[in-house]
Structure 1
Amino acid sequence: MAQHSQTPLTDPPTTTRPSSRAVSHRAWAIAVVAGAAIVTAGAFTTVPGLLITPLHQEYAWDRGQIALAASVNMVLFGFTAPFAAALMERAGIRRVAAGAMLLIAVGALLTHAMASPWQLVLYWGVLIGLGSGCLTMTFAALITGRWFVRRRGLVTGALSASSHLGQLVFLPLLAWAVDRYDWQPPVVTLALVALAVSAVVALFLRDHPADVGALPYGGKEFVAKPTPTQGAARRTVKVLFDAARTGTFWLLAGMFIICGATTNGIMWSNWVPAAHDHGMHATVAASLLSLIGVFSALGATLSGWLTDRFDPRRLLAVYFTLRALTLLALPQVLAASIHPTLIVFSIIYGLVDVATVPPVIALSQRAYGDDGPIVFGWTNSAHQLGAGASAFLGATARDLFGTYDVVWTALSAACLTAALMALVVRAPSTAELAV
């Protein structure tokens, strides 16, 4: 693989103003519609954690069997994302996004009629996993890249936070609804919301400003709509095979496997039942998870600022070390009610939750140049692979040992390993990058 030049990290400079107020409004409206889709898809990521206890009580299924659906969902979410851009460029952003929301809605509605654990895996794991995998940062990047010249970074940041917003907005409400009405009415309601958003996407989203004869926001020249590409998926696979010949890729992927296992993998699926083991009400536990989400967004923003100023490798080492300490302390701070120590845990853990993303993006760009974003996409797939394994193994360990304590200890040790891995990351040599 030939050495590429580094990709600029800042928006392209421009001094021109938008062509018209109408054009400005159209671009922002497109961003709002895209954000609505990402918010809704994000709401489905935390639902499995609310379902483990109710499904275990209603059907007498093992927690590990229930968590397997969340595991499959996370893995497919991660491995769909690298190909989502190719599919959108081939078939159109609007069609793929509307179809993805429809797939999510169908998967959620079908759980109302399930009778076996394999059906939960099929409906929630496969259908919702594939649908939500199309509505990640790949989707956001395409929207901002086509519709915005000015404010691109702002819109990208807002859309990247939309998934967390879905968790923050819906999770406490869903936890309250599950507690009050059982699990089926909230899931069906959320599915109907997904159906409505699918319709909104189909009606109002547009693939490109040229579709409506407009300029991108802040652009000074008309941009023709690109022709459908057929080689994007092939390039995505080629970049993976080229990067896989370098040690840097395996260090980045290995760190992100651990990152996924120690964040959304264990927390989104097992936090509520783990807190329930300590006597905490599900609604209270969901509120704490939302608090973690608030500080995750703040931590990601702060981490981006720090990444511009400090060595990303050292930042990653600090983040993973702090995460290891918080997970190790978790069995001692969990209790039946909220207390100051638990709030401190939520704040510190939240600040380092998503903080690993900006340094890994920076390292990917520095090491692989123009291929860096695609390399990061595959690294993010490794993140979801770790998350899926952790969701399943964490619940299985709870079945075997009757407690999550061994899980927190093991994940803490894994974080310390990731901290050491971060310190030895280096740019691949010319020989490694050569074809």
Structure 2
Amino acid sequence: MTTQTAPSPAPRATAHRIHRAWFVAAVSFVTIIGAAAFASLPGLLIEPLHQEFDWSRGTIGLAVSVNLALYGLTAPFAAALMDRFGIRRVVAIALTVISAGSVATVWMTSAWQLVMYWGALVGLGSGSMALAFAATVTNRWFVARRGLVTGILTAAGASGQLVFLPLLAWLVEHHGWRPAAVTVSLAALVVVPFVWLLLRDHPADIGTAPYGGTYAAKPAPVPGAARRAVTVLIRAARTGPFWLLAGTFAICGASTNGLVKTHFVPSAHDHGMPVTAAAGLLAVIGVFDVVGTVFSGWLTDRFDARRLLVVYYALRGISLLFLPMLLAPSVHPPMLLFIVFYGLDWVATVPPTIALCREHYGEDGAIVFGWVLASHQVGAALVAFLGGLARDAFGSYDLVWYASGALCAMAALMAMVIRRRPAPTAGALAA
């Protein structure tokens, strides 16, 4: 896939007991946490923007949909750009774009500005900070424990939600939505120096081998990032597993980011629950998501990823079918049981999906996962928009919850038929 530079010197001897890859993983974890603040805000903005500007929930949902779609569609190109310009440069620029887009919403007066600032700018920046970033870091720095590290980095997004969501909900409730938007902007900007000073692009940059692997020279920068991303898509699209993975992950996005993250707070508020209480429940989902995703990464290192996906989607669908019966003005034990159960399954699908991309597409696995993630966000974008329209049309979210549960059952069936296959080389994939 890539040409290598002249042989690099042998790795330096090191007295560190902890491999440098774990420090890179730690910096990546903190980076994703800082960038995760923007993901906490959309569900909290629907009611304040509706009240202040009299925009319909469908209009606000459109801006969220653009954000979610660009988040996914940018990911494969960002993965290719990381091969061309390095992880550090791409991530630092992405965080800066997120910060600029978020703070610009403070001065907006028209709905098209919401679509431009929050939808386009934050969507493009966040897409470059998407899970393809975690996949790239994991593929470069780890050979052993890849599933576990993927789970940890995926859980970082939930940790960011846990850290920021209660604070943002309190700000929106007591001071309005503008201070919350400024907080998101600052959180993304503060992480930039850590990325620039501490993150490294490749183990060979510091003369070491990936964790659990052997030393290899750093590949030369890959030109034509956009062309490569499209070429990989064309190759992968000729294979059945790609469409099954893309389809299941589209349903994953529809049932998480598009539905629960965007519409759970306003749906709970429709039933009389205070916004801060509903936001607190989402934060609890974030707590258990960390546990569930890390555990899923551990399981992915040991069990068939396809079977894990079948179980995850089936359980998620069952839980969503019960949710409309659990919404009430106050938090009660059955609702807490749903929150715990759903939180464990929130993004547990990510480690086995990345593992299957790596298994079927080898060195191109990170870019293929970027395209699979694009389908995830397209699914999320559709439900974020359609959920708002359904609420405007029927006065309730119940139909959306039931439809999402049925889609999860379909995803479980799709995961069941993904065939197992040894990971090919890039040359074999091209052939």
Taking structure 2 as the reference length, the TM-score comes to 0.87
Matched, 1:364 2:354: no
- Matches for 1:289-328 after TM superposition, within 5 Å: 289-308=282-301, 310-328=303-321
- Matches for 1:116-127 after TM superposition, within 5 Å: 116-127=110-121
1:138 CA drift (Å): 2.9
1:204 CA drift (Å): 4.2
* Separation (CA, whole Å) in 2 of partners of 1:150 and 1:316: 22
* Separation (CA, whole Å) in 2 of partners of 1:433 and 1:227: 21
Match of 1:11 in 2: none
Counterpart among 414, 419, 424 of residue 412 in structure 2: 419
* Separation (CA, whole Å) in 1 of partners of 2:221 and 2:270: 52
* Separation (CA, whole Å) in 2 of partners of 1:389 and 1:264: 11
Would the alpha carbon gap of residues 280 and 232 (structure 1) be closer, same or farther in structure 2, given more than 3 Å must change? same
* Separation (CA, whole Å) in 2 of partners of 1:371 and 1:221: 20
Would the alpha carbon gap of residues 295 and 97 (structure 1) be closer, same or farther in structure 2, given more than 3 Å must change? same
> What is the RMSD computed on CA atoms of the aligned residues?
3.1
Given that 1:19 and 1:219 are in contact with CA atoms closer than 8 Å, whether structure 2 keeps it comes out as no
* Separation (CA, whole Å) in 2 of partners of 1:297 and 1:312: 19
* Separation (CA, whole Å) in 2 of partners of 1:418 and 1:144: 26
Match of 1:9 in 2: none
* Separation (CA, whole Å) in 1 of partners of 2:188 and 2:86: 20
Taking structure 1 as the reference length, the TM-score comes to 0.86
1:317 CA drift (Å): 2.9
**1:75-109 alpha-carbon deviations (Å, 9 max, x no partner):** 11111111112212322322222111110110011
* Separation (CA, whole Å) in 2 of partners of 1:374 and 1:366: 13
Match of 1:10 in 2: none
Given that 2:69 and 2:380 are in contact with CA atoms closer than 8 Å, whether structure 1 keeps it comes out as yes
Would the alpha carbon gap of residues 18 and 129 (structure 1) be closer, same or farther in structure 2, given more than 3 Å must change? farther
Mean Cα displacement is larger for which, 47-56 or 313-322? Answer: 313-322
The one-letter amino acid paired with 1:196 is V
Matched, 1:178 2:179: no
**1:319-359 alpha-carbon deviations (Å, 9 max, x no partner):** 22222221111111011111100011112212222222233
Match of 1:238 in 2: 231
Match of 1:189 in 2: 183
- Aligned residue pairs: how many? 417
Given that 2:306 and 2:415 are in contact with CA atoms closer than 8 Å, whether structure 1 keeps it comes out as yes
**1:219-271 alpha-carbon deviations (Å, 9 max, x no partner):** 99876544322155433322211222233322221111111101111111111
Match of 1:88 in 2: 82
**1:127-172 alpha-carbon deviations (Å, 9 max, x no partner):** 1111111113332344455556777665544333211111111011
**1:24-80 alpha-carbon deviations (Å, 9 max, x no partner):** 697655544433321121111120100000000010000111111111111111111
- Matches for 1:13-28 after TM superposition, within 5 Å: 19-21=14-16
Matched, 1:129 2:88: no
- Matches for 1:52-67 after TM superposition, within 5 Å: 52-67=46-61
Match of 1:338 in 2: 331
Would the alpha carbon gap of residues 119 and 35 (structure 1) be closer, same or farther in structure 2, given more than 3 Å must change? same
Q: Percent of counterpart pairs with the same letter?
A: 58
Mean Cα displacement is larger for which, 138-147 or 372-381? Answer: 138-147
* Separation (CA, whole Å) in 1 of partners of 2:353 and 2:146: 20
Q: Unpaired runs of 5+ in structure 1?
A: 1-15
Given that 1:19 and 1:220 are in contact with CA atoms closer than 8 Å, whether structure 2 keeps it comes out as no
